[in-house]
Amino acid sequence: MGVAVERKPFPLPASDITDAYSLEVSAKDIAALSAAAPRILPASTISVPYLPREDNDARLAAVLAIRRLGFEPMPHFSARRIASLAEFESFVRRAAAEAGVERCFVIAGDPSTPMGPFSDSASLIDTGVFERSGIKLIGVGGHPEGHPVMNKAEQWDVLERKCHSIGQRGMAPLIVTQFAFDAEIVLAWLKALRERGIDHPVRVGVPGPANIAVLARYAALCGVSACASMWSKYGVSIGKLFGTAGPDLFVDRLASGLTEAHGKVSLHFFPFGGIAQSVKWIEQYRSRA
């Protein structure tokens, strides 16, 4: 009888992590996306956030433009900002019919009091609107560095239930994390995710290169920790908080730490410093491989 050999997971090639990246682009930034389009990988997923200053006409125009550019639009839906079921269903149906939208992303949203009947992202999934409209994939949020109002146990429970509900409705779940600054925390979170039997693809949120003060402001708005020790791990000296920072060190550490055991992982870029700057950084990073 042969001796069993332990097969240790091996690191994935660094280039793999940028092979299927996605970008977050608001409706007002479609012109910048159009200018950068020739340099973006064909059929890339482009997420359109649900911003309170933009209406459904602007969001629909954005997803139409994204489709015409040859990319895969993924509109966001902020549950607590949606005034009615009719409004929600109308937009999803139009986005699917007119722009060929097949993937959507759901969040609860910032308002403490819902503007309509939806209190959280699960309530949007439970309407059945997505599958009836032909949507094939639903993205949900992941929070490696913590959630502002839920503890860890609650976060895992909510994530598992949403992924299960999406799968039961015949759609594919995708987990997109909030942007992070500490690769070790993300790797530990991915390990815990897989140990819980959640094997769906994950897109790890990454801030594109941007002014450090801008990054700090967005971190504070989104509830992401950005203390001195975390800035250091991201590659920023606490004494140099006025320049520009890119995600080189974060992505290097994430890529080198990923193994087959972490499952399917790619990157989702938040271009706080501008789309052109993020695309240029991606090009340079990929050229290193």
> 226-242: per-residue pLDDT in tens?
655 666 666 665 555 55
Whole-angstrom distance, CA of residue 134 vs CA of residue 10: 38
- pTM (2 decimals)? 0.88
Q: Assess whether pLDDT exceeds 60 at residue 109.
A: yes
Q: pLDDT tens, 126-150? A: 999 999 999 999 999 999 987 777 8
Q: Is the pLDDT of residue 251 over 60?
A: yes
Q: Give the pLDDT of residue 1.
A: 37
Domains in the chain, ordered, with CATH? 14-287 (3.20.20.220)
> What confidence score (pLDDT) does residue 92 get?
98
What is the structure's pLDDT at 47?
98
Check residue 7 and give its pLDDT. Answer: 32
Arithmetic mean of pLDDT, 233-259:
77
* Mean pLDDT score, 54-69: 97
Higher per-residue confidence, 273 vs 8:
273
Mean pLDDT of 269-274: 90
DSSP class of residue 11?
A: B
157-205 pLDDT tens trace: 999 999 999 999 999 999 999 988 889 999 999 999 999 999 999 999 9
Q: What is the pLDDT of residue 10?
A: 41
Helix or strand run (H / E) with residue 68: helix 56-68
Predicted pLDDT at 139: 98
Indicate if the pLDDT at residue 71 is higher than 80: yes
pLDDT at 8 over 60: no
